[in-house]
Amino acid sequence: MSVYSIDVFMPVLILIALTVGVVLGGHFLSVFLAPKKSSKFQTTPYECGELPVGMAWSMFNVRFYVVGLIFIIFDVESVLMFPVVSVFKSFNDMGRGGLALIEVLIFMLILISGMAYCWRKGDLDWVKSYKRKQVE
């Protein structure tokens, strides 16, 4: 097991600071150099020349949500796979590859069965909702 110093995370912090600096610097420049003559029509949201009706923030079709929910689960599953998969090789080198393989396969099988269920039931389809009646 390798020992490291916390200093290895310095570049991350430096890059964040640098990027924030770049963005703020860009704004600073544009504050000085850009014209400021905003009019009422200039600041309306673009809607092909019409005045916008109502707020944009409103309901969307439910399929966006279902995709989101499936994503959360798959994201977590793939994240859990990372440490296991990264020691797979050393397990294999130690001659315990069979154990690791079986465990990984069981894990993936359960994951895949969930995916197969969603597929079978049509949750992965995007256009199916035309056929469905929206519940009042």
Partner 1 sequence: MFLTVLFFLSATLTIASGIMVVVVRNLMHSCMALLGCFIGVAGLYVTLGANFIAAVQFMVYVGGVIILMLFAIMLTGNKPEEKVGSFLLPAMGNRRTLTWGLITALVFFLSVGKILLGMFGIGLGKKTAPTDPSLFESTVDEIGTLLLTDHVLAFEMSSVLLLGALIGAAIIARPETSKEK
Partner 2 sequence: MGLAPYLIISMILFILGIVVMMARKNIIAILLGIELILNASALNFVAYSRFLTNNIDGHIFSLFIIVVAAAEAAVGLAIVIRFFQVRKSIHIDEAVWLNDEV
Partner 3 sequence: MNGGLIPYLSGFDWFNQTIKSTSAFLSFDTTSLLSFLIYAVFASLLVFLVLMPIGGLGTYAERKISADLQARIGPNRVGPYGILQFLADGIKMVLKEDIVPVGADRFVFYLAPLLAMVGVFMTVAVLPLSSGLTMVHLDIGVFYLLAVSSLVGIAVFLGGYAPNSKWSLLGGMRGASQIISYEIPVVISVLAIVLLSGGMSFDVLVGSQGGLPHRWFLFHNPFTFLAFFVYFVGALAEANRAPFDLPEAESELVSGYHTEYTGMRFAFFALAEYVEVFVLCAVAAALFLGGYNVPGELLKDHPLGQLLQLGAFFTKTLILYYVVIWVRWTLPRIRVDQLMTICWKYLTPIALFNLVGCALWMYCFDGKSIVSLLFESGVGAASGGH
Tell me how far, at minimum, the Cβ of 76 lies from partner 1, in Å. 6
Q: Which of 41, 24, 43 is closest to 32 using CA atoms?
A: 24
Distance CA 107, CA 74 (A): 12
Query: From the list 19, 23, 44, 65, which residue makes contact with partner 1 (rule: CB under 8 A)?
Result: 65
The CA angle 55-57-58, to the nearest 5 degrees, is 100
| 67 near partner 2, rule: CB under 8 A | no
At what angle are helices 97-120 and 63-93 packed, to 10 degrees?
170
Residue 9, both tokens = 């995370």
Select 72 or 136, whichever has its Cβ closest to partner 3. Answer: 72
> Apex CA 57: angle with CA 55 and CA 61, to 5°?
125
Residue 95: left (phi > 0), alpha (psi -120 to 50), or beta? left
Least Å distance, CB 132 to partner 3, is: 15
Would you count residue 37 as binding partner 3 (CB under 8 A)? yes
Which of partner 3, partner 1, partner 2, none lies near 97, with the C-beta cut-off 5 to 8 A by kind? partner 3
Q: Which of 8, 33, 34, 72 binds partner 2 (CB under 8 A)?
A: 72
Q: Which residues 95-134 are close enough to bind partner 2 by CB under 8 A?
A: 134
**Residue numbers of the site for partner 2 (CB under 8 A)?**
62, 65, 68-69, 72-73, 75-76, 80, 134-135
